[in-house]
Structure 1
Amino acid sequence: MQLSTRLTLILGLALSTPALSQPTLSPAHGNYHGLGEVLWNPATVADSRYLFQLQLFSLDVTASNTAYAYTGPWSLKNPGSGLEFSPEYLTLRNDKPRHLVGLGLDARGPGLQVRLNANNGLAFQTRVRTAFQGNAVSASLLQDAVNEFEGVRRSDDNTFNFNMNAFAEWNLTYGRTVINDEAHFLKAGITLKRLIGLGAAYIQSRQLDYEILPDNATTGDTVLRLHRFEGGAGFSNPSELANLDLNTARRWLTKGSGPGSGWGADLGVVYEFRPDHATYYYTTKKGERRPDASRNKYKYRVSVALTDIGGIRYRTNAAAYDVTASNLGVSQADLEGIDEDNVEERIRAILRTDRYEEQTSFRMGLPTTLNVDVDYHLSWKFYLNAAVRQNLRGRFAPGMRTFSYASVTPRLETRWLEVATPVLLTNNYRTAAFGVSARAGIFLLGTNDLGSLLGGKNRMGSNVYFGVSPLSWANWRPSAKSRKSKVSKVAPALKQPVTPPATPATSTPAAPDSLAAPVSAPVTAPTDSLTTPAAAPATAPADSSATPAATPTTVPTTPVTPAQLRLPFFLPGRYTVLPRQYCFSTRHWSNQYAACFRGPRHSPVGS
């Protein structure tokens, strides 16, 4: 049968070729993913590590299913073997009653992200998405399709929802800082989308009872009888998807004259816990205290977003039907030669749509999802990310959808290099997969299912993505001169500063004002000191105009631990708190006090 052959081909493609049903781009959610991360959560455009990013293009192709594994010879190790989609290469791996299948593409064209200032960010990008997807597909129906509806048998209580959709969008994103209260940081963002529908079709059934009959090649009689069908169908310009060329696509995009149109939105917030917030400030030449925009400041980060809210209404060449039928015969002639150019005509004939009211427009929803991820800074440049993407579309809702997944991803991240190794549960948390992602300069390349590409035994799908951003300018780092005054290694001034004891007026003059420190608590037992030598004894008679000899002035100090100063564990030495004017090294100081310590490049104070 022609139809069964096509269904087998579709399933084979979903198993072995690079559907929007899986993660788009890298699930690592790094701080240098720029425009790619804006699609996950629009709030990331604020306080971004990028000052400016110009994206040339990126592409994500994904295929998946939950029923059959592809066991054919093709893989990256054996690319010359060719792709073969015969039933002998499709092995049943799952006996669940309902299954998923998807095949699609997500292409992003020119895009721009700009950091407006310390609190605001803006992004704009273009995008085209197309997919064929099936969900809630009964196992018996899927198996009969793979077996080309051979044999004679009856199957009841079947369901399915097949959707085909292609649309373009123009996105504008704005994000800003909402709270910046020392250790607690919160930012929010919104994306508005103008959607242009290029073409769509859907057919779904909540109840399908069918019977496979003997093939009568002589008379072309009924070969498939639909005892009961409850569902619906709709289509708008499905033939245009097969005949789409560059000029037509350009006209639809520039004039907004596609067969469908609509609006969409993304909403998101990001919270960061910054226990060492004082570490990331520096002082400009003008004496202004500013945060260092080039560095990640959080110990952990929590991101929550609601994406792809909205939909597209098709009005041009559109028709939709709600169908409840029984005892429909499907002949060989109804099924032969079905393709994109005549799918509308054949669906009308098979379902006898002339018996039902025709709706001249219908709506295809966007793949609405809830995106949540937690990013934890382990140490140095190492991070660990856990993410969940939950589909919010109904089982029988017409339109594109994203199959839910969860991931755990360790990564090494620097400004110009990133390597991540995600471990995922895809296909509504049913299929385990292992991926790898690499970012080097302006290039991004990766896959979320490396085993399928390398020819694993359990290939339930495949995925690959790449992107090029020729101009990606990270935020500038403060100069070394500015960083000298940065509170980078010590905590703010101690609550109980050390104060030099007052010297009796009868023995020595008071200390100059320049050496005075604010008095907040007496020091009873100094353990170290700075001592100013006394003047040499006079041998001649004293001159009444000479300055009287001074007795030694002692400036006590208090030893403290690295933990009190919140210094990194790898800085050894003896730490001492002193008024700043007594410190021989001003590399580590805060407001009034300096942390001077014995180390490879420092001498102990007073020695």
Structure 2
Amino acid sequence: MKKTLFLGLCLCASVSIKAQSFIGFLTDNYSGVNSVISNPANIVDSRFKTDIHLAGASALGGNDYYSTDLDKLLDSDFDFDRDGTKSPKEKNYGFGNVDVFGPAFMFNLNEKSSIAVFTRARAFVNVNEINGDTFDNFENDLDTSNDFFINEGDIFATTHAWAEIGVSYARVILNNDTNFLKGGITLKYLQGLGNSYAYGRNVLIDYDADGTLLPGGNRTGSIDTQGEVAYGYSNNVKEDFEDLKLQSGATGIGVDFGVVYEWRPEIDSYKIKDSKGKTYLPKDVNKYKLKFGLSITDLGAISYDESTEEVYDITNAIGEDDFNNFDDFDDKLENLYTLVRSGGTSKAVLPSALHLTADWNINNYFYVNLNTDLSLVSKTKENANQVANMLSLTPRFERKWFSFYSPISLQQYSGFQWGAGFRAGPLYVGSGSVLSVLLSNDSKAADVYAGLKIPVYQSRLKDKDGDGVLDKVDDCPEEAGPEENFGCPWPDTDGDTVLDKDDQCPEEAGPVENNGCPWPDTDGDTILDKDDQCPEEAGPVENKGCPWPDTDGDSILDKDDNCPNEAGTVANNGCPEVKVTQEVQKTLNEYAKTILFDSGKATIKKSSFEVLDDIVKILNEYPKAAFKIEGHTDSSGSNAFNLKLSDARANAVKTHLISKGINAVRLSSIGHGEEKPIATNKTKTGREQNRRVEINLIKE
């Protein structure tokens, strides 16, 4: 059995499985209760009301010793030596993990705390610092054709399987809107299923193909070894693994803890308020722009009360025939080497690890996650498992019922890996290396995982009436209304089409342009204030609600006053009465005397039109005065002719003045002939003076 144990550890290194689980899936905000694996703080403020996990498993493989093509590996006649490439080094590494995540559930205690309970079975393998040449030479018994020398130094190999029942508690630690911090802790009861380990100290192996002389003269190989070799195992794996039984007294306690910080610079855009001012945040959406997580997992160990450890000094020189006389490795140790000490095994140390993650929410559909896993357990610690250090970048598309992710990883020893996975409601399937395995002819790693759960997501807040105000804060969830009125329609109490919120007179109908109030008539003049240019003083419609003014105070309103700025009389249309003075009368007659006619005719010469215009101006200054236009001749000619001629000339002047706008009522005309001379007709000068027209005031 012990040979099987030791070589089994070494063989696991060649096809071993690396130490992380569910790569890519655990970056998803909808990984639910599975997320306690990486950080127990994840379960609070999650996108789930509850998450019930049924079953899931993750198996991963990778190493730095052996690589092959997937097509060859799946071929029915695959040959380990022929169809792969070995890369033996002075120190080769192998590590592995099978993780069965069993029935589990999580639920929210309240808005600030959550709890999860889960079951899990795990198996780890680690082979550290094995010399690749050692493996090559002992893989199929010794190669007796060639000498070889190996300075193995120290070597460590551990396998461990155990089951867990864990309880996780997480709560919100800080929430000041922009900054959000939550923390969580997991306590795990551990039941050991089996443990075995082996290690060597300062091991040297020197094989001489013909170094031993046999009786009869033949020669055979010899093996010179130095150093110390130990192996330990729980007693339930002493015989074959198919006879594995649970062992009492193989228990322990494990602890995980972690914190998650979210930076929420746009938190106000997610907030909604009800009519009482209470604020709500939707639970079904991620509100962070950046999220950072830190956790430490698998602190603890399992003690196997019923266990055995044996330590041998392997310093000896042995012939090859003697070495081959014993089939089992334990028989070789017991019969060929010296037992130094024997007792119980040391505690089986869990693969403690530090996990750091950063998640960038690009636009609530697309995310990028950066994650690193770092082992906290030394590779040279006896009976201890370690995770493989890893750095991964995972872009993903994420929605409530579906996510797709494609992790790109740099893994310790097995190098670059590229995978893909998806979550579709209750099903999740993925691999952290499927694409690199398919694209590469020289793969050192492969993994796959799948699982089934019953997710119960946080509800999307509803809006029954479709008004954009969520029912959670809608005071009228069955009737559409604006957000500013908390989802209720604005009333119109007075029915004037102006909503009460805008109506300055909500109980009295009024037009829109007056903010819902009826137009007033403050001065009671029947003209509404909106049209009244003097709303506080009564006035007629034709003056736009203003009283007519009487600027000069003569009791004649300006609208009827021809002289609104000067007091006058009613008879003179508001203008003051103007007296025609003797000086004015004299001026008129002096102008009139200069009016010239064609000889022997009553036709006014054009040269006199300017004088007549001056006369019109004077007459207009006295609009109430009446004037008589009198024509005169000299004594030349008959008296009858002179009378007729003077009358015609007086009438011609009257007609001209009327044509210039003088009211005809104000004018009269008469001809006197030669009856009223003002000078002697015996002289030329006298006769010229007698030929004249006079304009004389009749009345004022």
Query: TM-score, normalising length from structure 2?
Result: 0.62
Residue in structure 2 matched with residue 182 of structure 1 by the alignment:
177
Residue in structure 1 matched with residue 95 of structure 2 by the alignment:
102
Is the Cα–Cα contact under 8 Å of residues 417 and 441 in structure 1 kept in the other structure?
yes
Residue in structure 2 matched with residue 490 of structure 1 by the alignment:
none
- Aligned equivalents of 2:204, 2:228: Cα separation in 1: 10
Residue in structure 1 matched with residue 108 of structure 2 by the alignment:
115
Once the 2 structures are TM-superposed, how far is the Cα of residue 101 of structure 1 from its aligned partner?
1.4
1:324 to 1:465, Cα distance in 2 relative to 1, 3 A? same
Q: Which has the higher contact order (CA 8 A, sep 6+)?
A: 1
- Aligned equivalents of 2:25, 2:221: Cα separation in 1: 46
- Aligned equivalents of 2:209, 2:423: Cα separation in 1: 56
Once the 2 structures are TM-superposed, how far is the Cα of residue 82 of structure 1 from its aligned partner?
1.8
Q: Which amino acid aligns with 2:78?
A: E
Q: Bigger shift: 410-419 or 474-483?
A: 474-483
Residue in structure 1 matched with residue 78 of structure 2 by the alignment:
84
Q: Over residues 123-153 of structure 1, what are the superposed CA-to-partner deviations in whole Å (9 max), with x where a residue is unaligned?
A: 1111111133211222332343457542211
Residue in structure 1 matched with residue 459 of structure 2 by the alignment:
476
Q: Unpaired segments of 5 or more residues in structure 1?
A: 488-492, 494-511, 517-529, 552-607
Is the Cα–Cα contact under 8 Å of residues 109 and 127 in structure 1 kept in the other structure?
yes
Once the 2 structures are TM-superposed, how far is the Cα of residue 458 of structure 1 from its aligned partner?
1.3
Once the 2 structures are TM-superposed, how far is the Cα of residue 159 of structure 1 from its aligned partner?
2.8
1:362 to 1:209, Cα distance in 2 relative to 1, 3 A? same
Residue in structure 1 matched with residue 160 of structure 2 by the alignment:
165
Q: Could you say what secondary structure the match of 2:238 adopts?
A: helix
Once the 2 structures are TM-superposed, how far is the Cα of residue 364 of structure 1 from its aligned partner?
0.8
- Aligned equivalents of 2:38, 2:297: Cα separation in 1: 7
Once the 2 structures are TM-superposed, how far is the Cα of residue 98 of structure 1 from its aligned partner?
1.8
Q: Could you say what secondary structure the match of 2:110 adopts?
A: coil
- Aligned equivalents of 1:432, 1:101: Cα separation in 2: 16
Residue in structure 2 matched with residue 327 of structure 1 by the alignment:
316
Residue 353 of structure 2 corresponds to residue 369 of structure 1: yes
Q: Unpaired segments of 5 or more residues in structure 2?
A: 474-483, 485-498, 504-512, 533-700
Larger radius of gyration: 2
- Aligned equivalents of 2:223, 2:22: Cα separation in 1: 40
Residue 283 of structure 2 corresponds to residue 297 of structure 1: no
1:207 to 1:261, Cα distance in 2 relative to 1, 3 A? same
Q: Over residues 347-403 of structure 1, what are the superposed CA-to-partner deviations in whole Å (9 max), with x where a residue is unaligned?
A: 5556533xx232224211000000011000112400000000001111221222211
Residue in structure 1 matched with residue 440 of structure 2 by the alignment:
456
- Aligned equivalents of 1:217, 1:176: Cα separation in 2: 75
Is the Cα–Cα contact under 8 Å of residues 362 and 368 in structure 2 kept in the other structure?
yes
Q: Which amino acid aligns with 2:289?
A: K
Residue 386 of structure 2 corresponds to residue 396 of structure 1: no
Residue 410 of structure 2 corresponds to residue 422 of structure 1: no
1:539 to 1:86, Cα distance in 2 relative to 1, 3 A? closer
Q: Which amino acid aligns with 1:458?
A: D
Once the 2 structures are TM-superposed, how far is the Cα of residue 108 of structure 1 from its aligned partner?
1.6
- Aligned equivalents of 1:358, 1:125: Cα separation in 2: 38
- Alignment partner for residue 153 of structure 1, among 136, 140, 148? 148
Is the Cα–Cα contact under 8 Å of residues 208 and 226 in structure 1 kept in the other structure?
no
Once the 2 structures are TM-superposed, how far is the Cα of residue 282 of structure 1 from its aligned partner?
3.2
Alignment of 1:563-578 (within 5 A): none
Q: Could you say what secondary structure the match of 1:167 adopts?
A: strand
Q: Indicate the percent of aligned positions where both proteins have the same amino acid.
A: 23
Residue 151 of structure 2 corresponds to residue 142 of structure 1: no
Q: Which amino acid aligns with 1:352?
A: T
Once the 2 structures are TM-superposed, how far is the Cα of residue 550 of structure 1 from its aligned partner?
11
- Aligned equivalents of 2:130, 2:275: Cα separation in 1: 66
1:146 to 1:344, Cα distance in 2 relative to 1, 3 A? closer
Residue in structure 2 matched with residue 40 of structure 1 by the alignment:
38
Q: Over residues 83-128 of structure 1, what are the superposed CA-to-partner deviations in whole Å (9 max), with x where a residue is unaligned?
A: 63432223135x6532211344111211111122211111111111
Q: Could you say what secondary structure the match of 2:227 adopts?
A: strand
- Aligned equivalents of 2:250, 2:361: Cα separation in 1: 44
- Alignment partner for residue 197 of structure 2, among 194, 202, 227? 202
Q: Could you say what secondary structure the match of 1:125 adopts?
A: strand
- Alignment partner for residue 124 of structure 1, among 114, 117, 121? 117
Q: Which amino acid aligns with 2:115?
A: L
Residue in structure 1 matched with residue 252 of structure 2 by the alignment:
262
- Alignment partner for residue 280 of structure 1, among 267, 270, 274? 270
- Aligned equivalents of 1:128, 1:451: Cα separation in 2: 28
- Aligned equivalents of 1:531, 1:139: Cα separation in 2: 95
- Aligned equivalents of 2:366, 2:19: Cα separation in 1: 29
Q: Which has the higher strand share?
A: 1
Q: Could you say what secondary structure the match of 1:55 adopts?
A: strand
- Alignment partner for residue 230 of structure 2, among 201, 214, 232? 232
Q: Which amino acid aligns with 1:478?
A: L
- Aligned equivalents of 1:348, 1:146: Cα separation in 2: 21
- Aligned equivalents of 1:279, 1:377: Cα separation in 2: 15
Is the Cα–Cα contact under 8 Å of residues 214 and 220 in structure 2 kept in the other structure?
no
Q: Which amino acid aligns with 1:456?
A: S
Q: Over residues 184-230 of structure 1, what are the superposed CA-to-partner deviations in whole Å (9 max), with x where a residue is unaligned?
A: 00000000011111111111123110022438999999966353223
Q: Over residues 524-575 of structure 1, what are the superposed CA-to-partner deviations in whole Å (9 max), with x where a residue is unaligned?
A: xxxxxx98489668699458xx997699xxxxxxxxxxxxxxxxxxxxxxxx
- Aligned equivalents of 1:373, 1:282: Cα separation in 2: 30
Once the 2 structures are TM-superposed, how far is the Cα of residue 180 of structure 1 from its aligned partner?
0.6
Q: Which amino acid aligns with 1:438?
A: F
Q: Could you say what secondary structure the match of 2:134 adopts?
A: helix
Alignment of 1:216-231 (within 5 A): 225-231=223-229
Residue 68 of structure 2 corresponds to residue 70 of structure 1: yes
Is the Cα–Cα contact under 8 Å of residues 159 and 385 in structure 2 kept in the other structure?
yes
Q: Could you say what secondary structure the match of 2:46 adopts?
A: coil
Residue in structure 1 matched with residue 296 of structure 2 by the alignment:
306
- Aligned equivalents of 1:343, 1:51: Cα separation in 2: 55
Once the 2 structures are TM-superposed, how far is the Cα of residue 64 of structure 1 from its aligned partner?
1.3
- Aligned equivalents of 1:550, 1:184: Cα separation in 2: 60
- Aligned equivalents of 1:330, 1:199: Cα separation in 2: 35
1:328 to 1:52, Cα distance in 2 relative to 1, 3 A? farther
- Aligned equivalents of 1:400, 1:188: Cα separation in 2: 26
Q: Could you say what secondary structure the match of 2:41 adopts?
A: helix
1:480 to 1:61, Cα distance in 2 relative to 1, 3 A? same
Q: Could you say what secondary structure the match of 1:21 adopts?
A: coil
Residue in structure 1 matched with residue 626 of structure 2 by the alignment:
none
- Aligned equivalents of 1:152, 1:358: Cα separation in 2: 33
- Aligned equivalents of 2:347, 2:449: Cα separation in 1: 29
Aligned residues, how many? 492
Is the Cα–Cα contact under 8 Å of residues 33 and 104 in structure 2 kept in the other structure?
yes
Is the Cα–Cα contact under 8 Å of residues 167 and 187 in structure 2 kept in the other structure?
yes
Is the Cα–Cα contact under 8 Å of residues 108 and 126 in structure 1 kept in the other structure?
yes
- Alignment partner for residue 57 of structure 2, among 56, 59, 74? 59
- Alpha-carbon RMSD across the aligned residues, in angstroms, is 4.1
Q: Over residues 50-75 of structure 1, what are the superposed CA-to-partner deviations in whole Å (9 max), with x where a residue is unaligned?
A: 11111111111112111221247435
Query: TM-score, normalising length from structure 1?
Result: 0.71
Once the 2 structures are TM-superposed, how far is the Cα of residue 39 of structure 1 from its aligned partner?
0.5
Q: Could you say what secondary structure the match of 1:87 adopts?
A: coil
- Aligned equivalents of 1:480, 1:21: Cα separation in 2: 47
Is the Cα–Cα contact under 8 Å of residues 130 and 152 in structure 2 kept in the other structure?
no
